Amino acid sequence: MGIARAWVSMSLDGFITGPKDDHENPMGINGELLHDWMFSSDRDAVEQDSTNQMFTATGAIVMGRRMFDLGISPWGNQNPFAFPVFVATHRPREPFESPDKPPMTFVESFAAAVAAARKAAGEADILIVGGASAIQQGLAEGVIDELHLAIVPILLGSGRSLFSPGELCGMKFELTQTLPTPAATHLILHPQR
């Protein structure tokens, strides 16, 4: 069995979307700035290699329902990943299928999404891509082995907090690698149990 990894971009003030995220503006006000490093023409080569390696090691994806609901239209009504996606939701629905893409399947809980993703991934790793509540739950339940956090040097002022106040009080991480780039600081963190 591979590891479970979470991967997310966060502002200096701890937000993974800007304020007022909705269907019109899925990342919230200024939230798209969190991903500028990913689409930059002078993207850091070391970081890009590292991210490519992460995807090479991945076999399946977990995400929360809100992320699916807000993301699917900007993703062009297709699974944006080259892997089967398992969406944790309390509102069941049929699998989302799109041409030439792996399916996105809806399962009844975060734990069930993790279990289904592990099964689909086989020996490969699973990747939890958000939103905040999926990552918080993964950390709180000890599911996440590794957190790739891209800290972007902006303040969003409000939005969705990656770390909900109180929930994960006192958790320590081993910081095993830092990939410094001007556009974002990439931290590879392992929760200490």
> Which residues would be at the binding site for its own copies (CB under 8 A)?
12-14, 19, 29-30, 33, 149, 151, 153-158, 161-163, 165-176, 178, 180, 182-183, 185, 187, 189
Nearer to its own copies, 14 or 102 (CB): 14
* CA 127 to chain centroid: 7
Nearer to its own copies, 104 or 149 (CB): 149
Nearer to its own copies, 98 or 133 (CB): 133
Query: Could you tell me the smallest distance in angstroms from the CB atom of residue 193 to its own copies?
Result: 14
What does each C-alpha distance from 34 to 9, 126, 144, 149, 177 come to in angstroms?
6, 22, 22, 11, 20
CA distance 165 to 171: 12
Nearer to its own copies, 79 or 136 (CB): 136
What does each C-alpha distance from 110 to 58, 69, 75, 141, 175 come to in angstroms?
18, 16, 22, 10, 26
Query: Could you tell me the smallest distance in angstroms from the CB atom of residue 42 to its own copies?
Result: 14
